[in-house]
Chain A
């Protein structure tokens, strides 16, 4: 037979458990999304008629208990979308059908652990080479940074994701801008 205090104790326990789970889920890191990494604006000097294949490496999968990471797939998708929107190249195609191969290595990312404003620094190595002869026509290291504050999001994990996506956005915009200025 249930004692008078049992129901109250059980309810408190269940509510505490539920709060712990909700707090845990709210604090989980989520990966950078490809939509969040597509630039809004482009500084394209010339639109190339050639086609390009895109390869991305160096990305990481996100551990929910640590920090937002950028995966190869998400960055590649964002880059493909950005090329389509900016017309930096006429089209993205796969393999030997492309005129150029654009390789991006997500080299280094510095993310803070704490703070009201979170600034993420991203460095990526960009390389453009001809598919027909494999010759590298351009290679540069591009650094970008982005800051997210309380106005962007209250939760720190979300702020970090926004800052990370913004750094990737700027990196993609800068990479395509530099490519558009090349005399190939």
Chain B
């Protein structure tokens, strides 16, 4: 009887330990990390913007198209092109930084989009979204989340 009791105890302990180890491994990835923020520069008024000049990332293949499509869906005119000397003819300039990670498949872990004044490059608004592996979003969803937060952001001062 005592032998059976000890065997059961050892089995439960082993399972508990395996579970704890798995939890540690899961937590050691960024799996559960989540963040979505946006900030407006003091005095910035995004409602005055009708058109954007979008500068694709240097190593980006076609993710810029997602941002372009999302802005156009919101009714903005979007011109895509390389970085050029100021001023731009559009109302604001859009740049972005996307970061990717591998976890079975590649996924976008973080996206930061910035709007700047097209005449003097002054910052207007910034949005950031970060999703770990377990809560990953598609690139389209990340873009939509960041831009939605940016356009809904209220200036703090």
Contacts and interface: CB of A to CB of B under 8 A. Distances in A.
Contacts of B25: 20
Instruction: Determine the main DSSP class of B at the interface with A.
Output: mixed
B93 interface: no
Interface residues of B, number: 34
Contacts of A106: 39
Contacts, number: 79
Interface of A: 1, 6, 13, 17, 20-21, 24, 27, 55, 57-58, 60, 63, 65-66, 101, 103, 105-108, 110, 113, 123, 125, 127, 136, 139, 141
Given A63-B33, A63-B35, A65-B27, A108 B157 contact: no
Nearest to A103: B157
B65 to A, nearest CB: 23
B146 to A, nearest CB: 13
Given A107-B126, A125-B123, A66 B33 contact: yes
Interface of B: 3, 6, 10, 17, 20-21, 24-25, 27-33, 35, 37, 39, 41-43, 97, 99, 112, 114, 121-123, 126, 128, 130, 132, 156-157
B124 to A, nearest CB: 9
Contacts of A27: 28
A12 to B, nearest CB: 12
Contacts of A103: 42, 156-157
B24 A21 contact: yes
Contact of A127 (B21, B35, B42): B42
Contacts of A108: 112, 114, 123, 126
A28 B20 CA distance: 18
B30 A57 contact: no
